[in-house]
A and B are shown apart, each in its own frame.
Chain A
Amino acid sequence: MKDTLLRWFHKWGSPKWFYDLSGRWMPWLAGLSLICLLVGSIWALAFAPMDYQQGNSFRIIYLHVPAAILAQSAYMLLAILGVITLVWRMKMTEILATACAPIGASMTFLALVTGSLWGVPTWGTWWIWDARLTSMLVLLFLYLGIMALQDAIRDPSSAARASAILAIVGVINIPIIKYSVEWWYTLHQPATFKLTEKPAMPMEMWLPLLMMLIGFYAFFAWSLLLRARHQVLIREQKTRWVTQLLDAKPATKSDPSESAKS
């Protein structure tokens, strides 16, 4: 048991192993995410019935909800990777955590914008200080703070460890922030229309949502691997396996014969 655990740890510390494995995973993730997103959005846009209260603007939910869920789980992942980075000092979790932040930030941004676009027909205004929108905005700033810190520290390993600490502090704070913002919202304006209220969704509304959710998660994993592989190549560019990799598979179209000879 201990042996397999050790081997597992060793593997996750190895960028080469990750590069090979992710190369094999990526086509599957790409296929899954593209199919789910395409089918899901066509289903959501053209075939799902409209909500009797909110009309067709309800179709934004199929984008808004997966983006919001993904934004939150990406932050959780960031903090979990941060703990692993700090405790076991694994190279791969540093790389994955660094790759995670920009995707999470863009999903938070998407959730915010779709939420406010949804607000125009439902609330009649594009922004209100709704508890959920406000905590999403705070989440966006938490992401941006982490990205700014990553950007400011030159050494990638130190940057990853510093932002890991910030991510953990943030994840402890998130429930407190959420609670306080909700409390603040109920204090200042009584809820007239709540997004939180889950209407009893019929099956033909649930299925496309589920499909979009799977598609978003697969897209997240795909994008995460793409970014992480880029980081791996940068960090490992001097190593033997990267040199061999580049020799064997030329990315340049200019001189295939040259590399074929060598």
Chain B
Amino acid sequence: MHKTNTTSLAQAVGVCIRREFLLLVRRPSDLLNPLLFFALVSLLFPLGISPTEAILQPVASGVVWVAALLATLLSLDSLFRQDLLDGSLEQLLLTPHPLSVLVMAKVGVHWLMTAIPLILMAPVLGAMLYLPTQAQGVLMLALLLGTPVLILVGAIGAALTVSLRKTGVLLTLMVLPLYIPVLIFGTSAVHAAAQDLPADGQLAFLGAILSLTLVLAPLGISAALKVSVRQ
């Protein structure tokens, strides 16, 4: 991206996407660890509460959602860290192209690579928690609508904490309260589907939250990156 004067925005976005894709493929642990975490957390609930269907089934949607939420959050810690260390984040800030667009490309690739496997894995965990079959589709659809919100909002937090040596619980503390609406509508959509009720309303709310986040979060992420890198 050094000869930015001659690159168009489309080219810059293409470069960003390719780079992010290659980086993620070359570090498969960044992709696998959140998935393992997702499975492991879901496993803890039958062990911690009870393995019986009567108890697990009502809480299944909540368990899968909470686990997905935490796994997404976990994958975000490394979102900008590597780029800051190797200096490419500053390059990104220096390009004449709108930062929010480039950041969206980056976050979009991150979503494709981390959230899609998670969405595909969710029905397996759901089945293990006795989630009824008719709810599985809604679970995947709700996750499909909800995970971009989780990643976009979490990316703001990741951008704010990128230059800090120790983030630890900080990112979680900052971002988790903002995840509550997604959690509420996501779980209740699955819950409704499990009881053979229509889940359209909840999914519509998730879609509304997603579109709001898609518009506003890129601005927030780029503003946060500017604050973090300047210091």
Question: CB within 8 Å of B: which residues of A?
Answer: 86, 138, 141-142, 144-146, 148-149, 152-153, 155, 158, 161-162, 165-166, 168-170, 172-173, 176-177, 179-181, 183-184, 187
A-B contact pairs, 15 of them (CB 8 A): A141-B177, A152-B161, A152-B167, A153-B231, A158-B227, A158-B228, A169-B178, A176-B209, A180-B180, A180-B181, A180-B185, A181-B180, A181-B184, A184-B184, A184-B188
Chain B residue, CB-CB nearest to A139: B177
Chain B residue, CB-CB nearest to A179: B181
Q: Is B49 an interface residue (CB 8 A)?
A: no
Chain A residue, CB-CB nearest to B208: A176
**How would residues 170 to 181 of chain B score, 1 for a CB under 8 Å from any chain A CB and 0 otherwise?**
100111111011
Specify which of B170, B176, B212, B230 is in contact with A141 (CB 8 Å cutoff).
B176
Give residues of chain B (176-196) contacting chain A, Cβ–Cβ below 8 Å.
Answer: 176-178, 180-181, 184-185, 188
* Inter-subunit contact B231/A158 (CB<8 Å): yes
Q: Is B223 an interface residue (CB 8 A)?
A: yes
Q: Is B164 an interface residue (CB 8 A)?
A: yes
Specify which of B153, B170, B176 is in contact with A169 (CB 8 Å cutoff).
B153
Known: A158-B227, A165-B156, A165-B227. A153 touches B164 (CB 8 A): yes
Cα distance, A158 to B216, chains bound together (Å): 22
Cα distance, A181 to B224, chains bound together (Å): 28
Closest Cβ of chain A to B173, distance in Å, is: 5
Considering residues B174, B180, B185, B230, which has the most beta carbons from chain A within 10 angstroms of its beta carbon? B174
* Inter-subunit contact A162/B181 (CB<8 Å): no
Chain A residue, CB-CB nearest to B231: A158
* Inter-subunit contact A152/B170 (CB<8 Å): yes
A-B contacts at CB below 8 angstroms, number: 78
Known: A141-B173, A145-B173, A187-B188. A152 touches B181 (CB 8 A): no
* Inter-subunit contact B223/A145 (CB<8 Å): no
Closest Cβ of chain B to A224, distance in Å, is: 23
Cα distance, A138 to B173, chains bound together (Å): 11
Chain A interface, DSSP helix/strand/loop, else mixed: helix
**How would residues 197 to 229 of chain B score, 1 for a CB under 8 Å from any chain A CB and 0 otherwise?**
000000001000100100010001001100110
* Inter-subunit contact B184/A162 (CB<8 Å): no
Chain B residue, CB-CB nearest to A145: B174
Chain B neighbourhood of A169, CB < 8 A:
153, 156, 178, 220
* Inter-subunit contact B188/A166 (CB<8 Å): no
Q: Which 6 A-B pairs have the closest CB atoms?
A: A158-B231, A145-B174, A180-B181, A141-B177, A180-B184, A161-B227
Chain B neighbourhood of A170, CB < 8 A:
177-178
* Inter-subunit contact B220/A138 (CB<8 Å): no
Cα distance, A258 to B74, chains bound together (Å): 59
Q: Is B160 an interface residue (CB 8 A)?
A: yes
Cα distance, A246 to B134, chains bound together (Å): 73
* Inter-subunit contact A165/B223 (CB<8 Å): yes
Cα distance, A261 to B49, chains bound together (Å): 75
Chain A neighbourhood of B175, CB < 8 A:
145
Cα distance, A187 to B230, chains bound together (Å): 46
* Inter-subunit contact B180/A177 (CB<8 Å): yes
Cα distance, A170 to B170, chains bound together (Å): 15
Chain B residue, CB-CB nearest to A161: B227
Specify which of A86, A149, A177, A184 is in contact with B174 (CB 8 Å cutoff).
A149
Closest Cβ of chain B to A17, distance in Å, is: 26
* Inter-subunit contact A145/B220 (CB<8 Å): no
Cα distance, A79 to B177, chains bound together (Å): 16
Chain A residue, CB-CB nearest to B183: A180
Chain B residue, CB-CB nearest to A183: B184
Chain B neighbourhood of A187, CB < 8 A:
188
Chain B neighbourhood of A144, CB < 8 A:
173
